[in-house]
Amino acid sequence: MIWEYLLDPTNWTNPDAGIFVLIGQHLAYTVLAVLAAAVIGIPFGILIGHTGHGRFVGIGLSNAARAIPSLGLLVLVVTLLDTGIGPVIGVLAILALPPILTATAAGVSGADPEAVHAARALGMNGNQIVAKVEWPLALPLVISGLRSATLQVVATATIAAFVSSGGLGRLLISGQATANYSEMFAGAVLVAALAILLDLLLGLIGWLAARRSHPGRAGAPAFAAST
User: Each residue of 28-53: pLDDT tens digit?
Assistant: 999 999 999 999 999 999 999 888 77
pLDDT of residue 178: 86
CA distance 46 to 127: 10
**At 27, is the pLDDT very low, low, confident or very high (cuts 50, 70, 90)?**
very high
pLDDT at 206: 87
Q: What pLDDT does residue 119 have?
A: 87
Query: How many angstroms separate the CA atoms of 31 and 16, rounded?
Result: 21
Alpha-helix runs per DSSP H in the chain: 4-7, 9-13, 19-51, 55-64, 70-80, 85-109, 113-121, 126-129, 135-156, 169-177, 181-213
Q: pLDDT grade, residue 83 (50/70/90)?
A: low
Predicted local confidence at residue 56, as pLDDT: 67
pLDDT of 34 reads 96
Domain range annotation of the chain: 16-223
Residues in Cβ contact with 135 at an 8 Å cutoff, skipping those fewer than 6 apart: 46, 108
Q: 111: which DSSP letter?
A: S
pLDDT score, position 1? 75
pTM, full prediction: 0.84
Give dist(CA 205, CA 86) in Å, integer: 29
Indicate the class that CATH gives domain 16-223: mainly alpha
175-223 residue pLDDT tens: 888 888 999 999 999 999 999 999 999 999 988 888 876 654 444 434 3
Please give the mean pLDDT across all residues of the chain: 83
Task: Give the mean model confidence (pLDDT) for residues 47-73.
Answer: 72
User: CA-CA distances (angstroms) from residue 44 to 18, 108, 155?
Assistant: 39, 11, 25
Residue 60 has pLDDT above 80, yes or no: no
Whether residue 102 is predicted with pLDDT greater than 50 in this model: the reply is yes
Percentage of residues of the chain with pLDDT beyond 70: 81
pLDDT at 227 over 50: no
| CA 167/CA 160 separation, integer angstroms | 7
Distances (CA, A) of 94 to 35, 62, 86, 124, 214: 11, 8, 13, 35, 32
CB atoms within 10 A of CB 62: 23
pLDDT value for 85: 77
For the ranges 13-17, 75-79, 156-160, the lowest mean pLDDT is seen at 75-79
13, containing H or E segment: helix 9-13
Cα gap 170→17, rounded to integer Å: 9
